[in-house]
Structure 1
Amino acid sequence: MDSAVVGLVGTVVGAVSGVVGTLTTTRLGGSEQRRSQNDQSARQERTTAYTKLVSACSRIYRVGYAVHVAVQDAPGRADSSPGVAERLQEFKLAVESALEVVSLVKLYGPEEIARAADNLASAMNGWYREVAFLAQGEGDAQWAGEAIELYEELEERFISLGRKALSSTPVLT
């Protein structure tokens, strides 16, 4: 083989390996960028779902506490007390609305957050049920008090776990 042919073959091999190297680097970089964007998008979805649930919980507490106090003042007389029936209905609607958000939180996880949201949903339902029983004169004020305490405890647990989950997820830029 003559040196010109060897030089030409060397040039072709070098050019091909350069192109292959560039394509490989580009492909790997594109995959990493897509993964990074997907991670960032998932983190944003979790943040949005957690925020919506915390906001719904604030509304539940505000509405639920008001009707809880009103019912304790007049147990079994919800129909005769002005506005109690309407507030009780508003409490029910707030709980139902929050349950839809709980489903989103469970979808985006992680598992520990999903369980915390599920427990919170049970607590909000329990609190509503106890207040409704009180309003009908069939409930127990102590049970209703324990129901609100459980709700407060599980809401705080969800917030704490959500904060921890979001802060431990690296921010990708």
Structure 2
Amino acid sequence: MRALHFVIACALFAGMIACGSKEATIDSRIFDEAHVISDAQKDSLINAIRVVETNIGPRIAIMTVESLNGETVEALSAKEAKAHGFDASKDVFFFLATTGHAAHIVTGSEVEKVLDDPLRVHLVWDMAPKFTKQKYGSGLVDGVEKLKAVFIVNKDAIAK
């Protein structure tokens, strides 16, 4: 009987692992606390992130907040990335505060081979016109799509 319980427990555990999907993982990494991303935009973000993560490697997360609460965008984005468990060496964390249209992209050393500081600033500047028009979700979709293109072109430079 004990052996049967062990087999059942192992089967249940294996089933839980098999049922876990990357979709849920990606979906849970879009933290829209400012409520500026529509369902359609969220779907677009999830699809772009899935392509990057499946074919290239870096995990991508997005967080929107209304306010920086007196902190700098760099400090708060780094703190939030760490608080949400993102690897400082190989993940990408898009961060946007709608008040003041402050945006920052946090990356680690492995990703910086391709996504260096000037390119991150360029991505933020490319999203800025939509942010100033309060089209935050659309700007984030554009930014993640451009990031996806950068990663696809530089796929060999990023360790999966």
TM-score (norm 1): 0.29
Higher-Rg structure is 1
TM-score by length of 2: 0.30
Hey, which of these two has a bigger chunk of strand by percent? 2
Structure 1 or 2: more helix by fraction: 1
